[in-house]
A and B are shown apart, each in its own frame.
Chain A
Amino acid sequence: MTTTTFIDPLILAFAEAVRLELDDLSAEEIDDLTEGLEADLSDQAADAGAPSLGDPAEYAAELRSAAGLPARETHGAKFESVTASWRGVRAATGRVIHSNPAVASVARFLASLRPVWWIARGWGLFMGVQAVFLSRSIEHLLPRDIIDAAVLIPLLILSVQWGRGKWMPRPWIRVVRVLASLAAVACMLLFVVVSVEAARYTDVGYEEPVGLSYNDNRITNIFAYGPDGEPLHDVRLFDQYGEPISVVNGVESNQYQEMFTMDDRAFALVPNYSAPDGAFWNIYPLRKAMVNIGTGSVDLNQPAVDVDPPFARVKPLQGSQPSPASTPDPGR
């Protein structure tokens, strides 16, 4: 017998691959089957002149069947051939990559980014779980409460462990890992689509709802003039449906609008609470009341006063009789 003083790396790799194929067995069974395998393969290689190693999966299957052990669990023939061809593709890809130094360095760089993918996968799964099981919108990237965190953190840990090849006691978990990865990618794509849609919606069509606008300009007050060109007071306006027109959100709003300062005093446009139907904001022109700058609230003890109109008067309509006096017409 020749004493082998070193083991061919090919043989080491082959023996390791065979053990991987047996990894559903107990450690003792694997040991029984493969202890001394390197020595046997080395001797065989020495006899043959060169290592003639076949497919580790086939070799492992032969070991099993001769030892009277069950075939690999959950590995149907179809699955077996799929994994075998996948291994073939990986091996071929590996050869191509390593034969070109530039490609190899890019591949090493990408390989160093694998942890990023593990985190992304965990995150994608989190978004999926959020959407499917927690009935929450997928567009939330960050956990918002303890439930989210309780989902996210275990998924991140699971994904990283899977990435490190841990936590896969059964071979079929590899299939689960592939499915989970696909689902995570799908969730991430969905997230991107939803985010882009939301951004576009915000950019173009969505604004804080305002009461009234004209040509994209906010209308804060309305001044009406009668046929004689004189300003009208306490005019009530309705749209084509009979709805009172308001420059704020809702004619019954309690929110004061349109603060402005004048001569170091702050004013706000205020509703007219004399409206019998509660449509306080439907009486134009709105008047102004002084705002207490300290509290930011309207001083209700001060009576509201008229706002200066943009024009003192406008040209009367043709054929209209100018009013004898310039006293304002109440309009009703």
Chain B
Amino acid sequence: MDTTQLLKGVLDVAVLAVIRDEDGYGYDIVRRLRAAGIDEIGDASVYGTLRRLYAAGVVSTYVVPSDGGPHRKYYGINNEGRSMLAAQRESWHAFATTMSDLLDEKPAPKTARIRTLGEKA
């Protein structure tokens, strides 16, 4: 399965998760995601996601100049971001459980549900 496609839907929450405890700048966040095992995602996707989160008002930014080098733009999660992260964590768990149940092919009652879903699809 193409995990890149899957990641696109959850990149927001993944990014929020890696800055939950510590602010980070763009590539720093990419590194954290990769360290966490999310390495199929392009850096531009991460930077674009950061911009979207900023536009949604769930992260704040600040620029830190460096000596002689390019300045870095840091992202930090704010209260709205934390609420969003909490809500999405719940949705994710619910969704992941559903998917796991679905894919693990549990016996009888669930099989009936699968058939129904299959017909709809």
Contact = CB atoms under 8 A, between A and B. Distances in A.
Interface of A: 1, 3-7, 29, 32-33, 35-44, 47, 59-60, 62-69
Contact of B67 (A5, A35, A38): A5
B80 to A, nearest CB: 17
B54 to A, nearest CB: 6
Interface of B: 8, 11, 25-28, 30-31, 42-49, 51-52, 54-55, 63, 66-73
Contacts of A35: 63, 73
Of A3, A4, A32, A66, most buried by chain B (CB within 10 Å of CB) is: A66
B50 to A, nearest CB: 8
A33 B47 contact: yes
Given A40-B25, A44-B27, A44-B30, A33 B67 contact: no
A7 B70 contact: yes
Contacts of B45: 62-63, 65-66
A40 B44 CA distance: 10
A36 B26 contact: yes
A4 B66 contact: yes
Contacts of B11: 66
B81 to A, nearest CB: 16
A136 B16 CA distance: 67
A6 B72 contact: no
Contact of B66 (A37, A39, A44, A65): A39
B28 to A, nearest CB: 7
A55 to B, nearest CB: 11
A42 B63 CA distance: 16
Across the A-B interface, give the 4 residue pairs with the lowest CB-CB distance, nearest first.
A66-B48, A36-B73, A62-B44, A67-B48
Describe A's contact surface by its main secondary structure.
Answer: helix
Contacts of A4: 66, 69-70
Contact of B44 (A5, A59, A69): A59
Contacts of A63: 44-45, 47-48, 51
Contact of A3 (B8, B27, B69): B69
Given A3-B69, A66-B45, 4 more contacts: A33-B51, A43-B27, A66-B49, A67-B52
20 contacts: A3-B67, A4-B69, A5-B67, A36-B70, A36-B71, A37-B47, A39-B27, A39-B71, A39-B72, A39-B73, A41-B27, A59-B44, A63-B44, A63-B51, A64-B48, A65-B48, A67-B52, A67-B55, A68-B48, A68-B55
Contacts of A42: 69-70
A62 B45 CA distance: 6
Contacts of B71: 36, 39
A40 B43 contact: yes
Nearest to A43: B27
A36 B30 CA distance: 14
A128 to B, nearest CB: 43
B70 A66 contact: no
B58 to A, nearest CB: 13
Contacts of B51: 29, 32-33, 63, 66-67
Contacts of A59: 44
A113 to B, nearest CB: 37
A96 B63 CA distance: 41
Nearest to A35: B73
